[in-house]
């Protein structure tokens, strides 16, 4: 009994020592987003539109498949969170592993996950990495594409549903 209490005490002490250096997700992403704004790495909507047309930029989305299916920027590519480095290979490199798109805009709902992944992508050697919140795209009345359908196929029914806009962007229908 006494030995168990000693082990418990040592465990609690050790965990508090290690927890002292822990930075929580909210604080980390807040600091990284502030730094991105300061460094000019917080993309504007115009930056995203320009990147979608540029040959040396890729717009990648790190949201979950459910978030992506709900609405995404047409022309962006989902790389997810599990192994984004691996998913990027086919988007940004040629057959000889040379960068053909050395610049990235990383998208997620509020840019929090994007800010964390951007650090990793810079370490991988990308020339420019900017972050962008999907909510800004939607709030500024830009269209989103959805993969939701009545089909049980998780990739959607492959029907073209067209683009959707946030409710505040749609003009009410005049009922006479």
Question: How do residues 103-115 score in pLDDT, each as one tens digit?
Answer: 999 999 999 999 9
Q: Give the list of residues 6+ apart from residue 62 with CB closer than 8 angstroms, or none.
A: 79, 80, 81, 84, 106, 107, 108, 113, 114, 117
Please write the tens of the pLDDT for every residue from 95-149. Answer: 888 888 999 999 999 999 999 999 999 998 899 999 999 999 999 999 998 876 5
Q: How many CA atoms lie within 13 A of 67 on its CB side?
A: 17
What CATH number is attached to the domain comprising 149? 3.40.250.10
The answer to whether residue 136 is domain-embedded is: yes
**Which pTM was predicted?**
0.77
Report yes or no on 108 lying in a domain.
Answer: yes
Supply the range of the domain harboring residue 133: 23-169
Please state the domain count of the chain.
Answer: 1
Angle, vertex CA 143, rays to CA 120 and CA 39, nearest 5: 35
Q: What is the pLDDT of residue 99?
A: 80
pLDDT tens by residue, 32-75: 999 999 999 999 999 999 999 999 999 999 998 888 888 999 99
């Amino acid at each position: 009994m006494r030995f168990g209490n000693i082990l418990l005490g040592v465990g609690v002490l050790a965990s508090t020592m290690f927890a002292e250096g822990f930075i929580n997700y909210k604080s980390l992403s807040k600091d990284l987003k502030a730094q991105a704004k300061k460094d000019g790495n917080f993309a504007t909507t115009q930056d995203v539109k320009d990147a979608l047309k540029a040959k040396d930029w890729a717009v990648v989305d790190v949201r979950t498949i459910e978030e992506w299916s709900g609405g995404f920027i047409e022309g962006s590519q989902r790389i997810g969170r599990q192994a984004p480095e691996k998913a990027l290979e086919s988007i940004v490199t040629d057959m000889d592993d040379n960068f053909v798109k050395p610049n990235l805009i990383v998208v997620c709902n509020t840019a929090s996950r994007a800010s964390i992944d951007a650090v990793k992508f810079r370490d991988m050697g990308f020339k420019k990495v900017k972050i962008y919140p999907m909510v800004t795209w939607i709030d500024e009345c830009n269209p989103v594409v959805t993969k939701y359908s009545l089909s049980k196929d998780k990739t959607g029914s492959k029907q073209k549903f067209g683009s959707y806009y946030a409710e505040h962007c749609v003009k009410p229908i005049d009922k006479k």
